[in-house]
Every structure is written in C-alpha cells, then in structure tokens.
Structure 1
Amino acid sequence: MFRDGGFRYGMARFVLLYNWNLIFTGPSTTSTLFWLVWNEPETFKPERFEGLEGTRHGFKLLPFGSGRRSCPGEGLAVRMLGMALGSIIQCFDWERTSEELVDMTEGPGLNMPKAIPLVAKCKPRKHMTNLLSEL
C-alpha cells in the first residue's frame, strides 16, 4: 500500500504516468479516474455531458492530451469522426440481427469495449447505391 494525494492504493492497482498526470486503475472494469470525476460512472447518464462550456471540444478528460505534446491530428480526428459517422448513418439502413435489444454492457479494457459485440445488418440505401459504387 502507498499513499499519494490523500488516496490509498493497494497492491492490485496500477499507476500509469500519462502526460504528467497520474491515472489509477483498479480491478474493476472502470478506471478509478472515472470515479474521481463522476458519480456512478458505470451508469449511463447522458445528461452528465450537458453544459460542458469552457471545456475543450466538450471533452472533460482531454483524450488527445494537451500542451506541446498533444496529438497533432486532434483537429482532423474530431472533424473526420463526425463526418464518418454522419456518412454511415446517411448511406446505410441499419437493422438488428435478432429481436433482442442491443446489450450495452461494458467489458473490461481501457477503452470500455462492449461485453457482447454488436452484430447488425446494414444495407445501402437505394438513393446512395450509385454514389457508393463510385467510391
């Protein structure tokens, strides 16, 4: 056990140094950092992201880093993500493969992967078939 900043950490925890910030992870699937920032981080609450004025692009945890060593592709990534997602939604009709609702349970990992992978059918929309064949 050791103490840092008033917190106690057991031997089962990992301490990572990232961009001069300490990130603490533990045996649970959610990073301890999430518990320090939000109440009930494992519960889906989209309202917690409303009103993030004053933050960078609405990111509370700065996924691209900051300062001199921040990601040089941040601007491109933010713009391309919206464009790619919009194109996928615009060009395809999406359906579930079964009648069951999509399971949103999170699995273990740093990027919170789904515990059960999403399986879906996508069909090109009729008015987009010509456009997609030209790509």
Structure 2
Amino acid sequence: MEDCTVGGFHVRRGTMILVNAWAIQRDPAAWDAPDEFRPERFLDDGGKVTAATAIPMLPFGLGRRRCPAEAMAMRLVSSTVAALVHCFEWDVGEGRTIDMTEGGGLSMPMATPLAAVCRPREFVKSMLSAST
C-alpha cells in the first residue's frame, strides 16, 4: 500500500514479498539442530503443541493467504496417524532403516521413497473380515 522497510531493505509500494518458510524453519537461531527431524521440539512441558512452541514452523503459509483449513488439517492428520499407529504393525524390512534425506522440489519429498509393510493388529482383523 505504501513504501516501507522490511529487514533493512527499502520496499516500494506494490511489491510482492514472499516469505521463505524453508529458511525460517531451518534457522539455527530459532532451532537447535534445525536439519534434524525432532517433532518433540514442538511440545511444551505438558507434551502438547502450543502456539508458543510452533511459531517458527509455517507449513500452512503466513499472513492473509494462510491456509483457511489449517485447524481442520491438523486435527485430521493427527486422527489419521493415530488410527494407523493404533490399528497396524509397521515394518520397513529386517536390517533396513528409513532414509530421511530430503529430495528436491517445493514439497520436500524424501530422496528415497518410503517403503513400509503394514499388518493389521489382532483386534482389527475381526473388523476387517466381518461381513456387513
């Protein structure tokens, strides 16, 4: 709307500014070992994710163009992962480990695709084989 200064840079009116979420999420000033997968860093002392612990994480964008379904997505993903962990045994193969190296691209795919086998737990087998 008007000329301003952002991060010490003069920005002219009408300029579009893009937020580099990749750089923010890997900032060593904000995170201890930013390139390591440590989901527990988003938990508070009570073991819950709060706005204060997740401020530098921007998976849904920022500002007025932020994803409007963020709250629904977070709940849906949490429920889905919980159901998958609860109902199935997971295995990547004997002696194999999961390679968490990042590949190229905007969505940061894994360099080596994940290949895992799931087997339903005993209590789920009866539900899966029951006729309706």
TM-based fold match above 0.5: yes
Name the aligned partner's letter for residue 115 of structure 1: A
Moved more, 41-50 or 125-134: 41-50
Counterparts of 1:123-134 in structure 2, within 5 Å, are 123-133=119-129
Aligned residues: 114
Shift of 1:97: 2.2
Change (3 A) 1:59 1:103: same
Structure 1 unaligned segments of length 5 or more: list them.
8-16, 25-30
Q: The residue matched to 1:55 in structure 2 has which SS? A: helix
Moved more, 33-42 or 87-96: 33-42
TM-score normalised per structure 1: 0.61
Name the aligned partner's letter for residue 108 of structure 1: G
Change (3 A) 1:46 1:88: closer
More strand by share: 1
The higher-RCO structure (CA 8 Å, 6+ apart) is 1
User: Percent same amino acid at aligned positions?
Assistant: 38
Shift of 1:34: 3.5
Structure 1 residue aligned with 2:35: 42
Question: Among residues 85, 106, 109, which one is paired with 1:110 in the alignment?
Answer: 106
Structure 1 residue aligned with 2:24: 33
Q: The residue matched to 1:122 in structure 2 has which SS? A: strand
Shift of 1:71: 2.4
Determine if the alignment matches structure 1 residue 85 to structure 2 residue 70.
no
Once residues 55 and 94 of structure 1 are traced to their aligned partners in structure 2, the CA distance between those partners, rounded to angstroms, is 33
Q: The residue matched to 2:52 in structure 1 has which SS? A: coil
Structure 2 unaligned segments of length 5 or more: list them.
1-5, 10-15
Name the aligned partner's letter for residue 64 of structure 1: F
Name the aligned partner's letter for residue 43 of structure 1: E
RMSD of equivalent CA atoms: 3.3
Question: Among residues 96, 99, 109, which one is paired with 2:95 in the alignment?
Answer: 99
Structure 2 residue aligned with 1:55: 52
